[in-house]
Structure 1
Amino acid sequence: MRRAAMAMDISQTGRRESGDDRRLAIAQAARAIIVEKGLEGLRTRDIAARVGINIATLHYHVPSKEALVALVAESLRHDFRAQSLRHPRTGKSGLEQLRLEFDDFRETVVDMPDLIIILTELVERARRDAAIAEIMLPMRDFWRSQFAEIFRLGITDGSFRPDLDPEAAGLISTGALSDCWRQPKLSLSLLDRVAAELERAFIRKS
């Protein structure tokens, strides 16, 4: 049946998309629906219709709800990695890297608000869905660990207080930023003030 479904899609499109292209299209369609209708409104038939495939082909690529959420999460990680590569950290001090993290977050809020909506939906669902939590919690933990590494570097290079706890500072930073993105109408001025207060709390006083 799956081979027949794939053959039908080939005849409809006139060419066979690569597996990566098809999975990317599925992820983008799922993300668009989450933005429009929330995670509760995500339906496989709607995804298939947007991608231009049938349900059997969709299930070939994402056989379960968990596989679909994992695919969406991976597409988010890809976007965040691409953003990070646009702003290299190599050779920068801990303080400079912290400011880049704040700048990246601000850029996401301004230029990629859909990512914030999707993340909020998935994180909220993870609170009551163990399968989704298993997918999303590593993303959260990785984000915190990135901040912790920045604080360790800053302690070493003298940017930050020598008595700073890197793990606690990472939790404080990601917690504050996460709370910002949950605001219904986030003021960029408020976001900038939050970032400034965080920086003041961590830097080494001269």
Structure 2
Amino acid sequence: MTIDTNCPNKRESGDERRIAIAQAARAIIAEKGLEGLRTRDIAARVGINIATLHYHVPSKEALVALVAESLRHDFKAQAMRHPRVKRTALEELRLEFADFRETVQDTPELIIVLTEMVERARRDPAVADIMTPLYDFWRRQFAEIFTNGIADGSFRSDLDPAAAALITTGALSDYWRQWTSFRVSIDHVMAELERAFIARPNSSQGNSHV
């Protein structure tokens, strides 16, 4: 549907229009990378003119923020489908792994877009201001799981939660960026990560869940 005015379509809410813009931007980033993102291409996919697009996202920063928010929304919706209530820390870790595997298999565009934006953030302070909190939130989730796991006996008592979180997110991120002939399955990566962190049955932690 083409819009020929400079204001939002009265039959479509602002939220609906912003969702459509975010989806179009994500599709283009997945196809062409963040460098290939052009406002005219987004407008064409949504079926609006440039003026209407700028009404909703008046700047590059606003567009990146909108895409980041859409990623955050999708990851949050995924987590809510698999409740963490009354789970051991090891079970929570396995759920995080399952969510990542599901994303890789079913909606790889999410990781492609996230990776593109994180890479751009390394050299663009404006993008970094938007993406750093999102990426660090992912790391903190793992750090919290490892902290809880030390307490409930799931993980080694000498484990450093922050270091373990960095190792985990780094391994998962690097798995996605495999671009040479060197290949490892995601299940093997996750199995090795789990073995590196869990408390052994013969350890002094008698309440181990493994």
TM-score normalised over the length of structure 1: 0.91
Which of the pair is proportionally richer in helix? 1
Q: Residue 149 of structure 2 aligns to a residue in which SS?
A: helix
Alignment partner for residue 138 of structure 1, among 133, 140, 155? 133
TM-score normalised over the length of structure 2: 0.89
User: What pairs with 1:108-147 in structure 2 (closer than 5 Å)?
Assistant: 108-147=103-142
Contact map agreement 1:180 1:186 (CA 8 A) in 2: no
TM-superposed deviation, 1:16 = 2.4
Separation in 1 of the partners of 2:181 and 2:168?
17
Separation in 2 of the partners of 1:183 and 1:162?
32
Taking every aligned residue pair, what percent have the same amino acid on both sides?
Answer: 74
Q: Residue 199 of structure 2 aligns to a residue in which SS?
A: coil
Q: Does 2:12 align with 1:5?
A: no
Paired positions, count: 197
**Alignment-derived partner of residue 155 in structure 1:** 150
Alignment partner for residue 62 of structure 1, among 57, 60, 72? 57
Closer/same/farther in 2, CA of residues 189 and 179 from structure 1, 3 Å limit: closer
Closer/same/farther in 2, CA of residues 179 and 55 from structure 1, 3 Å limit: same
Contact map agreement 2:175 2:184 (CA 8 A) in 1: no
Give per-residue Cα distances to partners, 1:68-92, cap 9 Å, x unaligned: 0110010001110011011110000
Moved segments of 4+, more than 4 Å? 185-189
Separation in 1 of the partners of 2:44 and 2:82?
37
Q: Residue 5 of structure 1 aligns to a residue in which SS?
A: coil
Contact map agreement 1:155 1:161 (CA 8 A) in 2: yes
5+ long unaligned stretches in structure 1: none
Separation in 2 of the partners of 1:154 and 1:106?
22
**Alignment-derived partner of residue 190 in structure 2:** 195
Q: Does 2:88 align with 1:87?
A: no
**Alignment-derived partner of residue 161 in structure 2:** 166
5+ long unaligned stretches in structure 2: 202-210
1:30 partner letter: A
Contact map agreement 1:27 1:71 (CA 8 A) in 2: yes
TM-superposed deviation, 1:188 = 9.1
User: What pairs with 1:36-75 in structure 2 (closer than 5 Å)?
Assistant: 36-75=31-70
Alignment partner for residue 12 of structure 2, among 12, 17, 36? 17
**Alignment-derived partner of residue 176 in structure 1:** 171
Separation in 1 of the partners of 2:46 and 2:126?
25
